[in-house]
Structure 1
Amino acid sequence: MQVDTDWLVEFFRKQARLGFEEGDFTRVRNCCRGVLQRVPTDVEAWTLLGEAALASHDSATAIHAFERLLELQPETAEHALRLGKAALQLQDWPAAIAALEQTLELQPDNAEALQALALVQQLQARLQTLEQLPAAAPRRNDPCPCGSGLKYKKCCLAKSSQQLMLQRLQQAFADGEWSTVVSLADELPQLTAIAQRSLALARYQLSQRGPAYPLIKQAISEFPDDLELRAAQADLELDYSLGGAKALAESVLEAQPDNWRAALVLAACHARAGDPGLSELVLRELISHNPNCDMAWQRLSHFLRKFGRVADDLELGRQWTERCPQNAEAWTQWGMSLVMADHAEQARPVLQQALTLDANQHEAWCWLGMSFQNRKEPQQALGYLAHGLQLKPDYQGGWNMLGGVYQSVGRQHEAEGCFMRALAIAPDQAYAWNNLANTYLDALLLEEAERVMHVAIDLAPDEPNLWNNLGNILSAARRLKDAQEAYRQVLEVAPDYRPVLANLAGVESHFGNLDRAIELLRIIIDSPQAWTNILFFANYHPDWSGEQVFALYQEVAKRLPARRYFDYANALTSNRRLRIGYVSPDFRHHVCAQFIEPLLANHNKSLVEVYAYSLVKREDQVTERFMGYVDHWRHCVGLSYDAIAEKVREDRIDILVDLAGHTGNNGLPILALKPAPVQVSWWMGFAFGTGLKQVDYFLADEQMLPPGCESSFAERLWRMQAPAVAYQAPEHMQVEVTALPALSNGYVTFGTLTRPIRLNHRVIRVWAELLRRVPNAKLMLDSILLRDESLQQHYRALFEAQGIEPERLLIGCTSPATAALSAMDIGLDCFPHNSGTTLYESLWMGVPVVSLRDRPSMGRVGALILHGAGHDEWIADTEEQYIEKLVALASDLPKLAAIRAGLREGMLASPLCDAADFAKRMEASFQQMWQDYCAQGEQQ
Structure 2
Amino acid sequence: MSKRKKTPSNSSKKSGSQTLTLPQAVQMALQSYNAGHLQQAESICRQILQAEPNNSEMLHLLGVIAIRVENYEVALELISKAIRFNPAVSHFYNSLGNVLNCQEKSSQAIESFRRALALNPDYPEAHNNLGNAYLALEQFNQAVKCYQQALTLKPDFIEAYNNLGKVFNDQEHYEQAVETLQRALALNPNFAQAYNNLGNALSAQGKPADAITAYQRAIRLNPNDSNAHRNLGKTLNEQGQWAQAITCFQQAIALNPNDADAYSNLGYTLIQQGKPRDALACFQQAIALNPNDVTAHNELGTLLKNQGQLAEAMVYFQRAIDFNPNSAEAHNNLATAWKDQGRFDKAIAHYRRTFEIKPIPLAYSNLLLCINYVMGYDQKAIFLEHQKFNAVFCEPLSVIDQPRHEQHAHSPASQGKISKISKIKLGYVSADFRKHPVAYFIEPVLAHHDHQQFEIFCYHNNKQSDDFTARLQQYADHWIDCFGLSDDALAERIRQDQIDILIDLSGHTADNRLLVFARKPAPIQITYLGYPNTTGLTAIDYRITDGYMDPEGSAEAFNSETLIRMPGSYFCFRPNSRCPAVKPALPALTKGYITFSSLNNYAKLNPELLALWADVLQAVSGSRLVIKTKSLNDQATKEALTAQFAQLNIEPERLILLGRSPSPEHLNTYHEVDIALDSYPFTGGTTTFEALWMGIPVVTLVGDRQVARQGFSILSALELTELIAHTPEEYVNICVKLANNTEHLQQLRSKLRDRMQASSLMDETGLTKHLENVFQTMY
TM-score, length-normalised on structure 2?
0.85
Matched with 1:558 is: 391
Cα shift at 1:364: 2.5
Matched with 2:596 is: 750
Matched with 1:827 is: 676
Cα shift at 1:846: 0.9
Residue deviations 1:75-130 (CA, integer Å, cap 9, x gap)? xxxxxxxxxxxxxxxxxxxxxxxxxxxxxxxxxxxxxxxxxxxxxxxxxxxxxxxx
Q: Which amino acid aligns with 1:281?
A: R
Aligned residue among 227, 241, 246 for 1:416: 246
Matched with 1:332 is: 162
Q: In the TM superposition, what are the counterparts of 1:691-702 in structure 2 within 5 Å?
A: 691-702=536-547
Query: CA 1:496–1:647 in structure 2 vs 1: closer, same or farther (change >3 Å)?
Result: closer
Q: In the TM superposition, what are the counterparts of 1:129-148 in structure 2 within 5 Å?
A: none
Q: In the TM superposition, what are the counterparts of 1:498-537 in structure 2 within 5 Å?
A: 498-525=328-355, 526-537=359-370
Distance, in Å, in 2 between the alignment partners of 1:646 and 1:246 is 54
Q: Check whether the contact 2:398–2:539 (CA below 8 A) recurs between aligned residues.
A: no
Q: Check whether the contact 1:408–1:638 (CA below 8 A) recurs between aligned residues.
A: yes
Q: Check whether the contact 2:491–2:516 (CA below 8 A) recurs between aligned residues.
A: yes
Q: In the TM superposition, what are the counterparts of 1:676-691 in structure 2 within 5 Å?
A: 676-682=522-528, 684-691=529-536
Number of residues of Structure 1 aligned to a counterpart in Structure 2: 715
Residue deviations 1:437-496 (CA, integer Å, cap 9, x gap)? 222344453332221111111111123333233222222222111122112222333344
Residue ranges of structure 1 left out of the alignment (5+ in a row): 1-171, 182-193, 202-219, 931-940
Matched with 1:374 is: 204
Cα shift at 1:284: 3.7
Q: Check whether the contact 2:63–2:76 (CA below 8 A) recurs between aligned residues.
A: no
Distance, in Å, in 2 between the alignment partners of 1:770 and 1:874 is 14
Q: Check whether the contact 1:238–1:269 (CA below 8 A) recurs between aligned residues.
A: no
Cα RMSD of the aligned pairs, angstroms, is 3.2
Residue deviations 1:24-79 (CA, integer Å, cap 9, x gap)? xxxxxxxxxxxxxxxxxxxxxxxxxxxxxxxxxxxxxxxxxxxxxxxxxxxxxxxx
Matched with 2:20 is: none
Distance, in Å, in 2 between the alignment partners of 1:369 and 1:274 is 30
Matched residue of 1:776: which SS?
Answer: coil
Residue ranges of structure 2 left out of the alignment (5+ in a row): 1-31, 47-52
Cα shift at 1:894: 2.5
Matched with 2:15 is: none
Query: CA 1:247–1:596 in structure 2 vs 1: closer, same or farther (change >3 Å)?
Result: same
Cα shift at 1:854: 1.0
Q: In the TM superposition, what are the counterparts of 1:338-377 in structure 2 within 5 Å?
A: 338-377=168-207
Query: CA 1:399–1:177 in structure 2 vs 1: closer, same or farther (change >3 Å)?
Result: farther
Distance, in Å, in 1 between the alignment partners of 2:120 and 2:516 is 46
Cα shift at 1:728: 0.5
Establish whether residue 571 from structure 1 lines up as the match of residue 412 from structure 2. yes
Query: CA 1:539–1:739 in structure 2 vs 1: closer, same or farther (change >3 Å)?
Result: same
Matched with 2:570 is: 724
Aligned residue among 619, 624, 646 for 2:492: 646
Establish whether residue 704 from structure 1 lines up as the match of residue 549 from structure 2. yes
Q: Check whether the contact 1:267–1:280 (CA below 8 A) recurs between aligned residues.
A: no
Distance, in Å, in 2 between the alignment partners of 1:649 and 1:390 is 37
Establish whether residue 844 from structure 1 lines up as the match of residue 689 from structure 2. no
Matched with 1:855 is: 704
Distance, in Å, in 1 between the alignment partners of 2:512 and 2:313 is 26
Q: In the TM superposition, what are the counterparts of 1:16-31 in structure 2 within 5 Å?
A: none
Residue deviations 1:257-295 (CA, integer Å, cap 9, x gap)? 44467422576599949567624413545875765x5xx
Cα shift at 1:177: 7.5
Q: Check whether the contact 1:271–1:279 (CA below 8 A) recurs between aligned residues.
A: no
Matched with 1:545 is: 378
State percent identity of aligned pairs: 31
Distance, in Å, in 1 between the alignment partners of 2:736 and 2:212 is 63
Matched residue of 1:685: which SS?
Answer: coil
Distance, in Å, in 1 between the alignment partners of 2:106 and 2:469 is 57
Q: Which amino acid aligns with 2:200?
A: M
Q: Check whether the contact 2:286–2:293 (CA below 8 A) recurs between aligned residues.
A: no
Matched with 2:18 is: none
Distance, in Å, in 2 between the alignment partners of 1:834 and 1:725 is 14
Q: Which amino acid aligns with 1:555?
A: K
Cα shift at 1:328: 4.1
Q: Check whether the contact 2:234–2:245 (CA below 8 A) recurs between aligned residues.
A: yes
Query: CA 1:495–1:846 in structure 2 vs 1: closer, same or farther (change >3 Å)?
Result: same
Residue deviations 1:119-177 (CA, integer Å, cap 9, x gap)? xxxxxxxxxxxxxxxxxxxxxxxxxxxxxxxxxxxxxxxxxxxxxxxxxxxxx999748
Q: Check whether the contact 1:726–1:912 (CA below 8 A) recurs between aligned residues.
A: yes
Matched residue of 1:582: which SS?
Answer: strand
Distance, in Å, in 1 between the alignment partners of 2:631 and 2:274 is 15
Query: CA 1:928–1:262 in structure 2 vs 1: closer, same or farther (change >3 Å)?
Result: closer
Cα shift at 1:674: 1.7
Matched with 2:659 is: 813
Cα shift at 1:824: 1.1
Q: Check whether the contact 1:373–1:381 (CA below 8 A) recurs between aligned residues.
A: yes
Cα shift at 1:814: 5.0
Cα shift at 1:535: 1.2
- Relative to structure 2, which stretch is displaced further, 755-764 or 342-351? 342-351
Cα shift at 1:420: 1.6
Matched with 2:7 is: none
Residue deviations 1:543-590 (CA, integer Å, cap 9, x gap)? 221112112212222222334333232121675532211111111222
Q: Which amino acid aligns with 1:753?
A: L
Cα shift at 1:777: 0.9
Aligned residue among 685, 699, 721 for 1:872: 721
Query: CA 1:722–1:399 in structure 2 vs 1: closer, same or farther (change >3 Å)?
Result: same
Distance, in Å, in 1 between the alignment partners of 2:709 and 2:318 is 37
Query: CA 1:246–1:330 in structure 2 vs 1: closer, same or farther (change >3 Å)?
Result: closer
- Relative to structure 2, which stretch is displaced further, 365-374 or 639-648? 365-374
- Relative to structure 2, which stretch is displaced further, 600-609 or 359-368? 359-368
Q: Which amino acid aligns with 1:485?
A: V
Matched residue of 1:560: which SS?
Answer: helix
Cα shift at 1:837: 0.7
Establish whether residue 788 from structure 1 lines up as the match of residue 634 from structure 2. yes
Q: Check whether the contact 2:196–2:218 (CA below 8 A) recurs between aligned residues.
A: yes
Aligned residue among 61, 69, 81 for 1:251: 81
TM-score, length-normalised on structure 1?
0.71
Distance, in Å, in 2 between the alignment partners of 1:837 and 1:726 is 11
Matched with 2:471 is: 625
Q: Check whether the contact 1:326–1:357 (CA below 8 A) recurs between aligned residues.
A: yes
Q: Check whether the contact 1:681–1:699 (CA below 8 A) recurs between aligned residues.
A: yes
Q: Check whether the contact 2:128–2:146 (CA below 8 A) recurs between aligned residues.
A: no
Q: Check whether the contact 2:683–2:708 (CA below 8 A) recurs between aligned residues.
A: yes
Q: Which amino acid aligns with 2:331?
A: L
Cα shift at 1:527: 3.3
Cα shift at 1:782: 0.3
Matched residue of 2:257: which SS?
Answer: coil
Matched residue of 2:372: which SS?
Answer: helix
Residue deviations 1:801-834 (CA, integer Å, cap 9, x gap)? 1111010000012522112122211111011110
Distance, in Å, in 1 between the alignment partners of 2:310 and 2:37 is 51
Cα shift at 1:236: 10
Cα shift at 1:394: 1.6
Matched residue of 1:728: which SS?
Answer: coil
Matched with 1:207 is: none
Q: Check whether the contact 1:403–1:416 (CA below 8 A) recurs between aligned residues.
A: yes
Q: Larger C-alpha radius of gyration, 1 or 2?
A: 1
Q: In the TM superposition, what are the counterparts of 1:181-580 in structure 2 within 5 Å?
A: 228-229=61-62, 249-255=79-85, 257=89, 258-259=91-92, 262-264=95-97, 268=101, 272=105, 278-282=111-115, 284=117, 291=124, 296=126, 299-326=129-156, 328-443=158-273, 445-525=275-355, 526-562=359-395, 563-565=397-399, 566=402, 567-569=407-409, 570-572=411-413, 575=420, 577-580=423-426
Aligned residue among 583, 587, 597 for 2:429: 583
Matched residue of 1:579: which SS?
Answer: strand
Query: CA 1:273–1:315 in structure 2 vs 1: closer, same or farther (change >3 Å)?
Result: closer
Distance, in Å, in 1 between the alignment partners of 2:336 and 2:186 is 50
Distance, in Å, in 2 between the alignment partners of 1:422 and 1:902 is 61
Matched with 2:449 is: 603
Distance, in Å, in 1 between the alignment partners of 2:597 and 2:100 is 66
